[in-house]
Amino acid sequence: MKKQVILIFGIFTCLIASNLKAQNEILEKLNEIAIVDQKIMMPMRDGIRLATDIYRPKTDKKVPIIFSRTPYNFNSWGDGKQKTGTAKRAYEAVKRGYAYVVQNERGRYFSEGEWDILGIPLTDGYDAFTWMKNQDWSNGKIGTLGCSSTAEWQMAVAALDHPSHAAMVPQGYGAGVGRIGDINEQGNWYRGGVEQMLFFSWLYGVEQDKFKPRIPAGATQEDLIRISRFYDLAPENPPVDMAEALKHLPIQDILKNINGKHEIFDKMIRRKPNDEAWFKGGIYHDNMEIGVPSFWFASWYDVSITPNLALFNHVRNNSKDAAIRDNQYLVIAPTLHCGYTRATENTIVGERSVGDARLNYEEQIYAWFDFWLKGEANNFKEKTPRVQYYTMGINKWKSSETWPPKEAKLVTYYLNSNGKSNSLNGDGRLSTKKVKRDQPDEFVYDPMKPVPSYGGNVCCTGNAIKGGSFDQQKMEKRDDILVYTTDVLKKGVEVSGFIESTLYVSSDVKDTDLTIKIIDVYPDGRAYNLDETIQRVRYREGFDKEVFMKKGKVYKVDLTPMSTSNYFKKGHRIRIEISSSNFPRFARNLNTGGNNYDEKEGVIAHNKIHHSSKYRSQIKLPIIFD
């Protein structure tokens, strides 16, 4: 045992040394070409100062700026991927003639003020733009860049239309999307009125305690640089088995139960999907006008692919400015959240290979910035397709002028069975032929025995869920999953676009959820998930009211669209799964009709899915035929 401990310690020490060496090497390279100005405390209009690091070329010429604002730690001292990543991004920008500016949101690390997830003043972004464009080394052109929480603030700030905000590159930006038409996710907190539990886990890891060490007001830049070498201000919460933690009821006490900071969570968990608080702060909604040329990056296995694509279409089709409508571009990769650059010759997402999914991301992003921030005549618009998307199955990049591609046609597939579609061994069929009789499929949904999340379009849930595409056959043995499958395809079809689904449900409880998942079934039986969604039935008529069910009555439920681009090869089959839970990706409905967030006990639901000439439960697939 002693030898094993020594060996593990030795390996750990070598890893630290290797990381530190890489960190030091990139910092040395950066210092050779850049003027480095760290821990500048940039003033906001209310007097709060935000900690900012600036890396700019050693030149007398005025330069454009690439700006990243983040809640994450970018202190370049010490070890860590985030810190090395910041230095690498700064180096790439500076060597191309840009100043790279990275800033912490208010209340994070060395920045002053109080932090609130996407609740900080929008004016912080506007004030930062004004400060940067007034620097004597700035050419007045600013581009914003970042993924996830470094992207999500960009859209709402873009709606303020600062004259120096010349272009943006939001990547994996779903948690900044509030309401887009009928989609009402409120920054990924909801899907179809159901809490997405990713933020339960994420907040545990990132929210800093109100009793954290704070730098005294008025600390000088010299003081801040010096102490940042010794004090990272980065908390390290005790590790938690999030797979177990998320099972706790009531869900309002999940963070409290694991001794996490929970003030922000306590506030958010009580907000309903239409709460006015969602429409304050940093989330973008469709009544806000984006006036910035945008190069959007999304991915098929990200947590919010459909809202992301809906936002691209919204700006592309509805901006009041024709020039802004024309300057929206989109890339959709077959990866997990922010996994673009991790694509390889054989990209594995979950356990499914999607082939060589690499793309020249960096080259395209800098060509975009060169065009808008430097005014270079590089023919970006002529060379770059409006939409670049990756089609799984045939594993290739494709392009289109619109999303979905114009050649995609919605084809309706109807659910059918003899009333026994439970599990993979049932008789559920998916067909373009309409059914005439109603033999509804019934399943039992017990909130204490929910269907486990297995793969999928997830992010940030710790060890609770592993995202991506996994063979669903072992899941499909459950009787509380209804399975509907097409006949074997006689020729291949591409499904690219938004997938619409309408289900007719009856139940013996006041409220329940409906889930749906689309799957590519291989000839050998492997069943790989592509996308999934959920709808809380009480919100079937909209998120501004709750309408409960009456026992035995049949209700029409339209679910939030799913999205994918997948080629179902000849010999494959198309499958959907229907159930009432997908846990812990989504919070369980306890079926009581109550608040749900403050309840410990659930009731068992007997749910029926109807499919007949009167109740045509169906799914519409955007198909491009060979």
- What does the alpha-carbon distance between residue 354 and residue 375 come to, in Å, rounded to a whole number? 37
- What does the alpha-carbon distance between residue 590 and residue 595 come to, in Å, rounded to a whole number? 9
For the chain, what is the radius of gyration of the CA atoms? 25
* CATH code (residue 26): 3.40.50.1820
**Within a domain: residue 390?**
no
Query: Does 402 score more than 70 pLDDT?
Result: yes
Using alpha carbons, list the distances in angstroms from residue 555 to 156, 511, 533, 540. 36, 11, 18, 9
The SS3 assignment for 170 reads: strand
Beta carbons within 8 Å of 391's beta carbon, 6+ residues apart: 397, 398, 494, 496, 565, 566, 567
Query: Does 212 score more than 60 pLDDT?
Result: yes
Rounded to 10 deg, the angle between the 81-95 and 2-33 helix axes is 20
Q: Read off the pLDDT of each residue in 518-532 and give the average, rounded to a whole number.
A: 98
CB atoms within 10 A of CB 447: 23
Nearest C-alpha neighbor of 166 from the set 371, 427, 339 = 371
Contact yes or no for 176/151 (Cβ under 8 A): yes
Task: Read off the pLDDT band of 281 (50, 70, 90).
Answer: confident
pLDDT (0 to 100) of residue 602: 97
pLDDT (0 to 100) of residue 34: 96
**Within a domain: residue 465?**
yes
- What does the alpha-carbon distance between residue 56 and residue 38 come to, in Å, rounded to a whole number? 11
Pick from 110, 132, 150: which residue ends a domain? 150
DSSP of 473-513:
TTGGG-TTSEEEEPPPPSS-EEEEEEEEEEEEEE-SSS--E
Query: Does 247 score more than 50 pLDDT?
Result: yes
pLDDT (0 to 100) of residue 7: 46
The average confidence (pLDDT) of the chain is 93
Nearest C-alpha neighbor of 309 from the set 457, 194, 150 = 457
- Domain count for the chain: 2
Query: Does 8 score more than 50 pLDDT?
Result: no
* CATH code (residue 595): 2.60.120.260
Pick from 128, 150, 172: which residue ends a domain? 150
pLDDT (0 to 100) of residue 76: 66
Task: Read off the pLDDT band of 229 (50, 70, 90).
Answer: confident
Query: Does 580 score more than 80 pLDDT?
Result: yes
DSSP of 178-198:
-EETTEE-TTTTEETTEEBTH
- What does the alpha-carbon distance between residue 85 and residue 342 come to, in Å, rounded to a whole number? 14
- What does the alpha-carbon distance between residue 109 and residue 579 come to, in Å, rounded to a whole number? 43
**Within a domain: residue 105?**
yes
Q: What is the pLDDT of residues 405-461, one digit of tens each?
A: 999 999 999 999 999 999 999 999 999 998 777 789 999 999 999 999 999 999 999
Pick from 133, 150, 167: which residue ends a domain? 150
Contact yes or no for 161/82 (Cβ under 8 A): no
**Within a domain: residue 431?**
yes
Nearest C-alpha neighbor of 147 from the set 351, 295, 285 = 295
Q: What is the pLDDT of residues 295-336, one digit of tens each?
A: 999 999 999 999 999 999 999 999 999 999 999 999 999 999
pLDDT (0 to 100) of residue 625: 83
Q: Say which residue the tokens 């390290």 belong to.
A: 236
Q: Read off the pLDDT of each residue in 60-79 and give the average, rounded to a whole number.
A: 88
Query: Does 56 score more than 60 pLDDT?
Result: yes
pLDDT (0 to 100) of residue 14: 44
Q: What is the pLDDT of residues 488-501, one digit of tens each?
A: 999 999 999 999 99
DSSP of 548-610:
---TT--EEEEEEEEEEEEEE-TT-EEEEEEES--BTTBPPP-SSSS-STT------EEEEEE
pLDDT (0 to 100) of residue 15: 37
**Within a domain: residue 124?**
yes
Write down the H helix ranges in 134-229. 154-158, 198-206, 221-228
CB atoms within 10 A of CB 540: 20
Specify the DSSP class assigned to residue 181: T
Domain coverage including residue 552: 409-625
Please say whether the dihedral angle defined by the alpha carbons of residues 200, 204, 207 and 209, taken in this order, is positive or negative.
positive
Specify the DSSP class assigned to residue 374: I
**Within a domain: residue 351?**
no
CB atoms within 10 A of CB 344: 10
Query: Does 504 score more than 70 pLDDT?
Result: yes
Query: Does 16 score more than 50 pLDDT?
Result: no
**Within a domain: residue 142?**
yes
pLDDT (0 to 100) of residue 23: 67
21 exposure class (CB count in 10 Å sphere: 0-12, 13-18, 19+): exposed
Contact yes or no for 560/192 (Cβ under 8 A): yes
Q: What is the pLDDT of residues 28-45, one digit of tens each?
A: 999 999 999 999 999 999
Token reading at 24? 């030091």
**Within a domain: residue 20?**
yes
Query: Does 4 score more than 90 pLDDT?
Result: no
- What does the alpha-carbon distance between residue 264 and residue 202 come to, in Å, rounded to a whole number? 12
